[in-house]
Homo-oligomer: A and B are copies of this chain.
């Protein structure tokens, strides 16, 4: 096909049209890897998480996470990895399963019960931080922002500080600092939890509250 068209002149090349005959679908990379995990063909590493066993592919995990890369390829170099079982004590099996699902399928499965989703997002954020998977961490942060409510705000704020999640921390402080929320929050166990676990975050919350000009606070009911 010719890119330059001169009006009135016949360009044989112009006649060829690409789009009506061939349609290229979007990238199916995730499908390839998802199917590959489901088929379990060539799996070469086993994880023991509590009573559950998971099998996976060293290179695919290593491509996704520098921590997996160091652990698995490091062990491989020492000739100890192939077929070996790696024990993971600090993650729940259902969290590790979602982590694997994300690695192979590129998405976090939807959960029907909102509360379960919020709990999973907390655990998954810890796992994402542990394996240095930044995009998954942000997905969890975003999910937790949408689940912010009085009962969980302190836990999520502490979590955000522990795992260095700036965006989530700001969302928590913004949520908590309005007068009516703050008043209700101070009457909960969450406030006590925050005071004990993360006084720095409590200080930041108070500072943020004080930084809001009085006239604005009055106007906005803050």
Contact = CB atoms under 8 A, between A and B. Distances in A.
Interface stretch (A16-24, A87-95, A191-199, A201-209): A16-24
Interface stretch (A47-55, A136-144, A211-219): A136-144
B171 A18 contact: yes
Given A1-B148, A16-B145, A24 B138 contact: yes
B22 A167 contact: yes
A130 interface: no
A78 interface: no
A83 to B, nearest CB: 12
10 contacts: A1-B145, A1-B146, A13-B149, A16-B171, A21-B141, A21-B171, A24-B135, A24-B138, A27-B135, A58-B59
Contacts of A17: 145, 171, 174
A41 interface: yes
A146 B76 CA distance: 47
Contacts of A42: 58-59, 62, 69, 72-73, 76
A23 B166 CA distance: 11
A8 interface: no
Contacts of A96: none
A63 B40 CA distance: 11
A57 interface: yes
Nearest to A32: B63
Contacts of A129: none
A62 to B, nearest CB: 6
